């Protein structure tokens, strides 16, 4: 019964991609090394990285802070099962509590799992305290992850008829329209859930007024406010959490991306009076393992320094100023976002093409929408690196216009 397995044919640099399930189109290169804002592919070509693992690598590639934490913890204790406490798990939870003003933390492996947990917690709370209310008002163009419930809570056009039937109970309101949110609230409603800045849909900020209005409305109606800070949290917008800038605090907060700086960890954070999971309602094999929580702890200690966050604000203002100048020079649209989560509206459906041309010139940029470029560099990106990025983009945009 011997079977001959064909030799893989290497399409690029000796690599074959055949064994990988096709889930997206990827450029024909393999990244082999990264330091700070720079990546190197298998041919030795260097790239300036303004994507950083999708706003994940908050300290850049392979920062000593993470490498040291990993090395130290890997030699001490990696995993002792979620049925037991470990020391970094406790320390990281305490630090998140101190920074967030909320009281309880459950660690997850990613953002979708944190949001899935937030939805479960809100539904349990609704079952106990609001007569079985389970609906969660979410926003148009929201992105909350790729589990079935978080896809249902999201509003991505290509997902509309995918993987039916969806999880029910996620009516959609328009961002920054509090009357629209209010109209959707019934006795079935248990929470309002939103991103302070919608990242995946093209960096669309909730106004500070809207965040305050949602807070006031949910408080008045006895509902929970859930903030998905998977992308905006951990210093990305210049404060530890974006909600601080509105002077509010949610009942439930979700984190991931920057929390691990590149290793997979997320967190579901909640006010004490919301926490109503009974034993067995929530859990997970890898959740809160010592290796990833040790990394989260090292990152939060670094990002939580006031000078670090101040630097994100000044660097973010500099990047925004450079992008505005570029927009003016090439007659493009608005620059929006906060801190180091920014977008440039190109005013035409050229973003994918511009990002591909930048890639060819050794610059990684993301085009979340056909007209939008998104900038999410390492939080410690330098002005020189920003200048280099602008130079490359300027060249590509000049070429675009000249065609």
Ligand X SMILES: *Cc1c(COP(=O)(O)O)cnc(C)c1O
Q: Write out the residues near ligand X by the rule CB under 6 A.
A: 110-112, 115, 143-145, 195, 199-200, 228, 230-231, 256-257
Q: In whole angstroms, how close is the CB of 117 to ligand X at the nearest point?
A: 12
Q: In whole angstroms, how close is the CB of 163 to ligand X at the nearest point?
A: 16
Q: In whole angstroms, how close is the CB of 110 to ligand X at the nearest point?
A: 3
Residue whose CB is nearest to ligand X in the complex, by number: 111
Q: In whole angstroms, how close is the CB of 257 to ligand X at the nearest point?
A: 6
Of the CA atoms within 13 Å of residue 161, those in its CB half-sphere come to 0
Is the Cβ of residue 117 or residue 126 nearer to ligand X in the bound state? 117
Q: In whole angstroms, how close is the CB of 321 to ligand X at the nearest point?
A: 25
Q: In whole angstroms, how close is the CB of 143 to ligand X at the nearest point?
A: 5
Residue 387 designated active-site:
no
Residue of 61, 57, 98 whose CA lies nearest to 240: 98
Q: Which two tokens stand for residue 114?
A: 């944190």
Distance CA 334, CA 2 (A): 62
Considering the candidates 49, 228, 251, 345, report the single residue annotated as catalytic.
228
Is the Cβ of residue 253 or residue 396 nearer to ligand X in the bound state? 253
Residue of 140, 78, 60, 98 whose CA lies nearest to 293: 78
Considering the candidates 104, 124, 257, 357, report the single residue annotated as catalytic.
257
Axis-axis angle for helices 306-330, 290-303 (nearest 10): 70
Q: In whole angstroms, how close is the CB of 272 to ligand X at the nearest point?
A: 24
Distance CA 288, CA 99 (A): 18
Q: Are 283 and 82 in contact (CB under 8 A)?
A: yes
First-to-last C-alpha distance (Å) of the chain: 60
Other beta carbons less than 10 A from residue 18's beta carbon: 11
Is the Cβ of residue 150 or residue 218 nearer to ligand X in the bound state? 150
Distance CA 189, CA 121 (A): 14
Q: Which two tokens stand for residue 274?
A: 């919301």
Query: What is the sign of the dihedral through the CA atoms of 192, 98, 312 and 245?
Result: positive
Residue of 172, 132, 134, 133 whose CA lies nearest to 152: 172
Is the Cβ of residue 173 or residue 397 nearer to ligand X in the bound state? 173
- β-bridge pairing 104-108 and 46-49: unpaired
What's the chain's Rg over C-alpha atoms? 22
Beta strands (DSSP E) in 94-177 are 104-108, 135-139, 172-173
Is the Cβ of residue 36 or residue 199 nearer to ligand X in the bound state? 199
Q: Are 243 and 250 in contact (CB under 8 A)?
A: yes
Distance CA 284, CA 109 (A): 9
Is the Cβ of residue 86 or residue 138 nearer to ligand X in the bound state? 138
Q: In whole angstroms, how close is the CB of 9 to ligand X at the nearest point?
A: 32
Residue 228 designated active-site:
yes
Is the Cβ of residue 60 or residue 111 nearer to ligand X in the bound state? 111
Q: Are 115 and 167 in contact (CB under 8 A)?
A: no
Residue 170 designated active-site:
no
Distance CA 276, CA 159 (A): 31
Distance CA 268, CA 132 (A): 22
Distance CA 83, CA 135 (A): 31
Considering the candidates 50, 143, 241, 375, report the single residue annotated as catalytic.
143
Is the Cβ of residue 117 or residue 145 nearer to ligand X in the bound state? 145
> Which residues form the catalytic set?
143, 228, 257
């Amino acid at each position: 019964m011997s079977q001959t397995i064909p030799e893989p044919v290497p399409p690029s640099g000796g690599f074959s991609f055949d064994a990988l399930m096709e889930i997206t189109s990827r450029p024909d290169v393999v990244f082999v090394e990264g330091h700070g804002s720079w990546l190197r592919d298998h041919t030795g070509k260097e790239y300036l990285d303004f994507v950083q693992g999708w706003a994940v690598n908050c300290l850049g590639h392979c920062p000593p802070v993470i490498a040291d934490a990993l090395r130290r913890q890997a030699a001490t204790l990696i995993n002792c099962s979620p049925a037991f406490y470990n020391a970094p798990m406790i320390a990281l939870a305490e630090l998140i509590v101190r920074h967030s003003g909320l009281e309880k933390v459950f660690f997850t492996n990613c953002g979708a799992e944190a949001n899935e947990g937030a939805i479960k917690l809100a539904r349990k709370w609704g079952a106990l305290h609001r007569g079985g209310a389970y609906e969660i008002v979410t926003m148009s163009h929201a992105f909350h992850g790729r589990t079935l419930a978080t896809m249902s809570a999201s509003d991505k056009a290509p997902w509309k008829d995918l993987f039916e039937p969806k999880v029910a109970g996620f009516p959609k309101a328009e961002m920054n329209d509090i009357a629209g949110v209010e109209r959707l609230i019934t006795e079935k409603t248990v929470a309002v859930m939103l991103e302070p800045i919608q990242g995946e849909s093209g960096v669309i900020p909730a106004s500070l007024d809207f965040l305050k209005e949602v807070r006031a409305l949910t408080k008045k109606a006895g509902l929970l406010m859930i903030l998905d800070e998977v992308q905006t949290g951990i210093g990305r917008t210049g404060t530890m959490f974006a909600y601080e800038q509105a002077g509010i605090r949610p009942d439930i907060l979700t984190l991931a991306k920057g929390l691990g700086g590149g290793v997979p960890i997320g967190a579901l954070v909640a006010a004490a009076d919301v926490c109503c999971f009974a034993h067995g309602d929530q859990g997970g094999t890898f959740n809160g393992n010592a290796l990833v929580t040790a990394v989260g702890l090292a990152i939060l200690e670094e990002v939580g320094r006031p000078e670090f966050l101040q630097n994100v604000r000044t660097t973010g203002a500099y990047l925004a100023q450079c992008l505005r100048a570029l927009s003016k020079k090439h007659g493009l649209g608005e620059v929006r976002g906060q801190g180091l989560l920014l977008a440039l509206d190109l005013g035409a459906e050229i973003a994918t093409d511009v990002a591909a041309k930048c890639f060819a010139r050794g610059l990684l940029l993301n085009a979340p929408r056909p007209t939008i470029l998104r900038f999410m560099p390492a939080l410690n990106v330098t002005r020189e690196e920003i200048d280099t990025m602008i130079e490359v983009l300027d060249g590509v945009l000049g070429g675009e216009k000249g065609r």
